[in-house]
């Protein structure tokens, strides 16, 4: 599968623990996006990168969240001191930019117990 890849697919963690998710975009795509989707809602934008630069962050992204894309290829999303409200599907998408189509990964489902 040469599409957007996310790892892990599922993560169960105890409240207060830190978690990190990885996203591997389609190789020639310079833009990478993170979204969060809770039950019964559409995806909500969290942040995006153009190459290694993080260009926009949503107010949803509290201080406990951090995202990186160190070499402009894969990206990581870390949540520190997880809370039950962080339970959601975390989606990654990538595109060539310039108005081109965004391709989504299958998501990482986080459950905080």
Partner 1 sequence: AQRVTQPEKLLSVFKGAPVELKCNYSYSGSPELFWYVQYSRQRLQLLLRHISRESIKGFTADLNKGETSFHLKKPFAQEEDSAMYYCALEPAWGSSNTGKLIFGQGTTLQVKP
- Residues 45-74, one symbol each (x = binds partner 1 by CB under 8 A, - = not), give x--x------xx------------------
The yes or no reply on residue 8 touching partner 1 (CB under 8 A) is: no
Q: Of 20, 30, 99, 103, which Cα lies nearest the Cα of 66? A: 20
99 touches partner 1 by CB under 8 A: yes
Calculate the alpha carbon distances from 45 to 15, 36, 56, 101, 113 in Å. Answer: 23, 7, 10, 16, 24
Is residue 40 close enough to count as binding partner 1 by CB under 8 A? yes
For residue 18, the SS3 value is: coil
**Any contact of residue 107 with partner 1 (CB under 8 A)?**
yes
- Residue closer to partner 1 by CB (options 63, 101) is 101
């Amino acid at each position: 599968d040469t599409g957007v890849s996310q790892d892990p697919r599922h993560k169960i963690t105890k409240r207060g623990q830190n978690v990190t998710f990885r996203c591997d975009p389609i190789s020639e795509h310079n833009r990478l996006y993170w979204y969060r989707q809770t039950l019964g809602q559409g995806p909500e934008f969290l942040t995006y990168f153009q190459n290694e630069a993080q260009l926009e962050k949503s107010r949803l992204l509290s201080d406990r969240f951090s995202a990186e894309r160190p070499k402009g290829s894969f990206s990581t999303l870390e949540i520190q001191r997880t809370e039950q409200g962080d339970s959601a599907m975390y989606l990654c998408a990538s595109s060539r930019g310039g108005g081109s189509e965004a391709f989504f990964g299958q998501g990482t489902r986080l459950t905080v117990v």
